Structure 1
Amino acid sequence: MSAAICPEPTPAERARSVLSAADSLTVTTHGHRVELIGLHTVDAAARLLLQNPPDAHLAAELALAPHGDLAALVEFTDIAPVAVRERVRTRLTLGGWLSALGPKALVFNPARAVLTEADGTTVVGLDELTLASPDPLATHEAEMLARLNASHADAVAPLARLLPARSRLGASDVRPLRLDRHGLVLRVETADAHHDTRLPFAAPATHPGDAVRQIHLLLAEANARPRRRRLPTRS
């Protein structure tokens, strides 16, 4: 399908969605590498507000910074919530500056983002990152994909009928990999490889309930098609 027929989020929107949904990150400075879990929030300008980790290494290093800010990299790893081959979907690395925000928090101001996915690496500038919005399904995607996968025989297997015939050749399994406002991405696995195919929604979903309705429309289309040999499923 062409991009005009099958739209998808821009790299900047995908980066903002990773920021919105992630619950952990890694901060690397010249002196330390710190893992933070559940200790950050993201504001409308894509700044990260970091609660100081218990060991206070970042705050101590920042206190010695000559200009009151500290160069840092912040890394996120987006992992598929469904068991598929090569579960890392996206790696997002932000370059920017840490500074103090009161006595118990730090703020990270990104200067640019590097988005690494299966099809390559994209540099996202600060203006793009700031203007982009996270996908409306970003914080619900993991739960929705897990539920869809749990109903594999009733949902995923029928949806596989919508894939081009060449995409199903040699397929040993099909699993839901991504979900955003524009559609659902299925991963097709063969004995020694895999590939991903997007099933576009009839219209962009604006909230989770809307996405469920769009998936039901896809299922109705799939169930109207002739049945082919059932794909094997993995327990």
Structure 2
Amino acid sequence: MPAAVCSEPTPAERARSVLSAAGSLTVTTNGQRVELIGLHTVDAAARLLLHNPSDGDLAAELAVAPHGDLTALVEFTDVAPVAVRERVRARLTLGGRLTALGPKTLVFHPARAVLTDDDGTAVIGLDELTLASPDPLATHEAEMLARLDAAHADTVAPLARLLPARQQLGASDVRPLRLDRHGLVLRSQTPDSHHDTRLPFATAATHPGDAVRQIHVLLARATARPRRRHLPSRS
């Protein structure tokens, strides 16, 4: 028998992907709550580098901290890049401490991570977070999903044939929700509920071009199936 194909990212991988793709974050210390937009990067050890001006509020609080560091929480919100009901896909909260690195950069050293999504809440240890890698599609996912959604009639509508029959017949709309190296997740929506279904790739994608090829394989499977009546059309 062929080996089973892993079709889901682990919570640690999801967390690293959120870190990699996020454009903003919120930092909470004992004294303040600050939102930073486009002012962070992540290094190989999963440390956050906060590029905060030397006269910024966080740097000022850190400068008078008794031990040269600050206990802090850093929060990320992962939002679907297409219009779906309940667009928040996950929330990631990191606990740790802030220290200074030069005059204009702060370093956040995570000690733990908590990821909350539709599957529940997962506590991720520092070793797991450090050893995990972000998905190779993480920084490309938003653009790729937007393109899929824009070509809805040629991509998403045919792919909806791969959904279970009950979801096809009951859905008023289907949208691409998530894309990672393991597959594509579609959200089928009714007027008062929704359901997410993963369409797994045959093999894990290693880069965006590979993911496009895998989506074409899914499309070939979908178009080979007979069209069910009342398949959702784009509203």
TM-score, normalised via structure 1 length: 0.96
Alpha-carbon spacing, 1:232–1:163, altered in 2? closer, same or farther (3 Å):
closer
Q: 1:198 is paired with a residue of what secondary structure?
A: strand
Match of 2:200 in 1: 200
Number of equivalences? 232
Aligned-partner Cα distance in 2 for 1:220–1:229: 19
**SS at the partner of 1:215?**
helix
Moved >2 Å (runs of 4+): 166-169, 230-235
Q: For residue 39 of structure 2, what is the amino acid of its counterpart?
A: L
Equivalent in the alignment of 1:133: 133
Alpha-carbon distance in 2 for matches of 1:25, 1:53: 16
Aligned to 2:187: 187
Q: Indicate the residue corresponding to 1:156 in structure 2.
A: 156
CA RMSD of aligned residues (A): 1.2
Residue 73 of structure 1 deviates from its aligned partner by 0.4
One-letter amino acid of the counterpart of residue 153, structure 1: A
TM-score normalised by structure 2 residue count = 0.96
Alpha-carbon distance, 1:55 to partner:
5.6
- Report if the CA contact (8 A) 1:36-1:53 is conserved: no
Deviation at 1:69, TM superposition (A): 0.7
Q: How many angstroms does 1:54 deviate by? A: 7.5
1:60 is displaced (CA, Å) by 1.0
Q: How far, CA to CA, are the matches of 1:199 and 1:150 in structure 2?
A: 19
Q: Which residue in the other structure is 2:104 paired with?
A: 104
Contact 1:149 1:156 (C-alpha < 8 Å) held by counterparts: yes
Q: What is the CA-CA distance between 1:227 and the residue it aligns to?
A: 1.2
8 Å CA contact 1:84–1:175 kept in 2: the answer is yes
Q: Which residue of 2 aligns with 1:73?
A: 73
Q: Given the superposition, is the C-alpha separation of residues 54 and 90 from structure 1 closer, same or farther in structure 2, using an over 3 Å criterion? A: farther
Q: 1:55 to 1:33 in 2, by over 3 A?
A: farther
Give the equivalent residue in structure 1 for 2:143.
143
